[in-house]
Each structure stands twice: as C-alpha cells, then as structure tokens.
Amino acid sequence: MHAIVVEDKQLVLREVPDPTPGPGEVVVDVAAAGVNRADVSQRQGLYRPPPGAAEYPGLECAGVISALGPGVTGRQVGEQVACLLAGGGYAERVAVPVGQLLPVPTGLSLQEAAALPEVACTVWSNVVDHDCLRKGETLLVHGGGSGIGTFAVQLGKALGATVVVTARATKHDRLRALGADLVIDYTTDDFVLATRDFTAGAGVDVILDIIGAKYLADNIEALAPNGRISVIGLQGGRKAELDLALLLNRRGSVSATSLRARPRAEKARIVAAVQREVWPLVEAGAVKPVVHTALPLADAPEAHLLMESSDHFGKILLLP
Ligand SMILES: NC(=O)c1ccc[n+]([C@@H]2O[C@H](COP(=O)([O-])OP(=O)(O)OC[C@H]3O[C@@H](n4cnc5c(N)ncnc54)[C@H](OP(=O)(O)O)[C@@H]3O)[C@@H](O)[C@H]2O)c1
C-alpha cells in the first residue's frame, strides 16, 4: 500500500507493507484521514508516536473494514467506520483497535466522518468528562477557528453553554455562524478584559486552552469561582509561573491531558461515551463537521503548509 512517511522532517509518499491486524484489531481501508496540529510536530521530530503505534502520521480517519484480527467479534468486513488512531492515518490502510471504532453518523459522508474522531474525543474528554461543563455556564475556547475550536464551539452551544472564543479577525464571521456568543481578536484585544466585561465581572467557568504557558496567568485571571482550565496544547510554550494564591482564591483547577498517549482501555471508554453522548448531537445537526479542504494523500506536504499558515478554518483532510 501507499503511506506518507517522515524522512528528514519531510512528508514523502512511499510504498510500504500492508498492516496486519493484531488481536482485537481490524484493518480499515482509509477513505479520508484528518490532519492535526500534532502531525506537524511529529513531522518536525518534536512528537514521537507512542510505543506500539504506527510510525506514519495520522490520528483519525474514516473508511471501510477490510479484515478482522484474531478474537474480533461483532464487526464485519464492508462496515463503514470512523476511527481514533494513535498514528498511521496518512495511508491507504491502517490497523485499528475495535475500541477506537465509531459508526459513521447517519447523514454524514465518510469524508465528513473523518473530520470528527480526534476533535470529538479530545473536546468531550476535557470539557465534558473532566471539566463537567454545565448548561448556563460560560466556556472560553482559545483558537476558535482550529479543528478543535470549531468543534468545541458547537458542542458548548449544544450543551447549553455561553461560548466565548479567541481567534484572528478573519475567522470571526464564521465563528458567529457556528454559534459563538462573543468573538475576541487576540491579536488586538485583551481576552481577560473582554471576558470580564462580557460576563459582568463574573469570569468564565471552563477554559479549553491550546496555548499553554503564554496564557496560563491570563486564563486564571479570566476564571470565575470554581472555574476549570483544561490545557490541551502548548503552542505558547510549556513553562510558566503559576500564581497559586490567585488559583486558590478562585477555587480553580488546572489540568493538562494528551489523548494520544492514553492507554487503549481509556480511549475505548472515551470513544464509547462520544458515541453515546456526542453522535446523537451530530445526527441531529446540532454539531457539524467543519471541513476546510480535502487534498489527495500525495499533497500531505501542502496540507501541512496550510495548517502551519493557520489560514484554514476547521479541518483539513487527506484522501488516499
Ligand atoms: N492534548 C490533546 O489530546 C490534543 C488533541 C488534539 C489537539 N490538541 C491541540 O489542540 C490544538 C489545536 O489543534 P488543531 O489540530 O485543531 O490545530 P489547528 O487547526 O492548526 O489550529 C491551531 C489554531 O491556533 C490558533 N492560535 C494560534 N495562536 C493563538 C493565540 N495566541 N491565541 C488563540 N489562538 C491561537 C490559530 O488561530 P488563528 O488563525 O485565529 O490565529 C489556529 O486556529 C493544538 O495545539 C493541538 O496540539 C491537543
């Protein structure tokens, strides 16, 4: 089969051996694969795949099951699925643990379904499972125009929250169309002042943060009493000073998670919950995949250039 491999920090289309399904795995013929910011870090040599994961980049895909591994029951060759992966999505075929398979939501194409697993599992596990976002609370999403952000805005609204986002001005109209209640241009405006003003001084209840160190102090400053901050990205650095007195006064919490590194059993629990709690919202049209563009697999280098430019809105897909 063909796959995109990383050679000298470049993405190259190569002929590689077909994957063999291990116990509890199926092989999926990939129809479309999602591109994620983590793939860029992997290409740059900054983010190694976890032990046991395929070496090729690609954290999510959708396609058709073409082979069953030992011990797999309840799955059929020919079944359409969306997949959460630890790697290997930039390929014509990939082996996937059955616990990381999702059905293709009714009404969605395989391409649209490929845009969902990584963002749905990441956003649900942080904002809902860990931070327990409740109806009527305020959610602040940094990087609203990202793959993660476009999903988080819609999920927050579907759950009855007020949603505030930071993004460059070129993305504001599209974020309002997705339901964002307040859109802040982080390049010109102070998000702490803007959120305090918008919430009449109360602050925000939950923050989904992709920036890390650069925003830590301001995130705590923007937090309401009993607020929760989930750090999922370190685009603004990894080391910062934490004012524990301020956090203590807010009775706040800061957590940080990575989905990719979680054990298979934990991923299976998250995938099952996403199917149970998020897929009905997708099938009802309350949460939609936001696909910026779909490119042939061989154009993976262009896909990464586009992602690094941040000119995209939502997800970039690769089509084998
Ligand atoms: N921990 C996990 O399990 C996990 C899983 C998935 C993703 N992530 C992380 O989530 C982040 C988004 O991933 P993605 O694949 O959706 O990436 P993406 O689509 O490439 O989005 C990156 C976004 O960062 C925004 N941005 C850059 N500087 C910013 C700033 N100072 N303030 C606010 N926004 C800023 C850009 O928005 P503008 O164009 O508006 O500047 C862009 O939309 C990445 O950091 C990724 O590593 C983590």
Tokens, residue 273 = 């919950």
Packed helices 191-198 and 213-222: angle between N→C axes, nearest 10 degrees: 20
User: What is the CA(88)–ligand 1 centre distance, in A?
Assistant: 21
Residue 168 main-chain phi, psi, to 5 deg: -65, 150
Q: Are 90 and 172 in the same domain?
A: no
The whole-number pLDDT of residue 187 equals: 98
* Domain total in the chain: 2
Domain membership of residue 98 as a residue range: 2-116+260-319
Residue 238 main-chain phi, psi, to 5 deg: -110, -20
Last residue of a domain, one of 214, 230, 256: 256
User: What is the CA(305)–ligand 1 centre distance, in A?
Assistant: 15
Q: Are 40 and 101 in the same domain?
A: yes
Query: How many beta carbons lie within 10 A of that of residue 42, not counting itself?
Result: 23
Q: Are 27 and 46 in the same domain?
A: yes
What is the average per-residue pLDDT within 253-269?
97
E strand residue ranges, the chain: 2-7, 10-15, 25-35, 60-68, 80-84, 93-97, 101-103, 138-142, 162-166, 182-184, 204-209, 223-231, 253-256, 291-296, 315-319
User: What is the CA(314)–ligand 1 centre distance, in A?
Assistant: 10
The whole-number pLDDT of residue 268 equals: 98
Compute the distance between CA of residue 173 and CA of residue 151 in angstroms, rounded to an integer. Answer: 16
Please say if the pLDDT value at position 305 is more than 90.
Answer: yes
- Model confidence pLDDT, tens digit, residues 69-81: 999 999 999 999 9
Is 21 touching ligand 1 by the criterion CB < 6 Å? no
Q: Are 89 and 143 in the same domain?
A: no
Is 68 touching ligand 1 by the criterion CB < 6 Å? no
Compute the distance between CA of residue 198 and CA of residue 171 in angstroms, rounded to an integer. Answer: 20
Q: Are 94 and 182 in the same domain?
A: no
CA dihedral 272, 130, 56, 68 (to 10 degrees): -10
Last residue of a domain, one of 256, 275, 310: 256
- Model confidence pLDDT, tens digit, residues 238-257: 999 999 999 999 999 999 99
Please say if the pLDDT value at position 88 is more than 90.
Answer: yes
The pTM score is 0.98
* Ligand 1 atom 35 nearest Cα: 143
Q: Are 291 and 311 in the same domain?
A: yes
pLDDT confidence tier of residue 100, bands split at 50, 70 and 90: very high
What is the average per-residue pLDDT within 141-170?
98
pLDDT confidence tier of residue 52, bands split at 50, 70 and 90: confident
Q: Are 164 and 147 in the same domain?
A: yes
Q: Are 267 and 232 in the same domain?
A: no
Q: What is the CATH number of the domain that holds 308?
A: 3.90.180.10
Please say if the pLDDT value at position 173 is more than 90.
Answer: yes
Mutate to test the pocket of ligand 1, among 127, 310, 312, 316 (most ligand atoms within 8 A of CB): 310
Q: Are 249 and 266 in the same domain?
A: no
Q: How many helices (H) and strands (E) does the chain have?
A: 11, 15
What is the average per-residue pLDDT within 102-116?
98
Helix (H) or strand (E) holding 175: helix 172-178
User: What is the CA(307)–ligand 1 centre distance, in A?
Assistant: 10
Q: Are 248 and 298 in the same domain?
A: no
| DSSP output for 47-108 | SPPPTTS-SS--SEEEEEEEEE-TT--S--TT-EEEEE-SS--SBSEEEEEGGGEEEPPTT-
Is 164 touching ligand 1 by the criterion CB < 6 Å? no
Tokens, residue 92 = 């014509």
Q: What is the CATH number of the domain that holds 208?
A: 3.40.50.720
Percent of the chain with pLDDT strictly greater than 90: 98
What is the average per-residue pLDDT within 305-309?
98
> Which of ligand 1's atoms lies nearest the C-alpha of 310?
39
Q: Are 103 and 129 in the same domain?
A: no
Q: Are 158 and 237 in the same domain?
A: yes
Compute the distance between CA of residue 248 and CA of residue 245 in angstroms, rounded to an integer. Answer: 5
DSSP, res 18: P
Last residue of a domain, one of 220, 239, 256: 256
Percent of the chain with pLDDT strictly greater than 70: 100
What is the average per-residue pLDDT within 90-111?
98
Is 33 touching ligand 1 by the criterion CB < 6 Å? no
The whole-number pLDDT of residue 193 equals: 98
Q: Tokens 């930071």 sit at which residue?
A: 166
* Ligand 1 atom 42 nearest Cα: 146
Compute the distance between CA of residue 169 and CA of residue 175 in angstroms, rounded to an integer. Answer: 10
The CA distances from residue 244 to 7, 216, 220, in Å, are: 44, 11, 10
Is 4 touching ligand 1 by the criterion CB < 6 Å? no
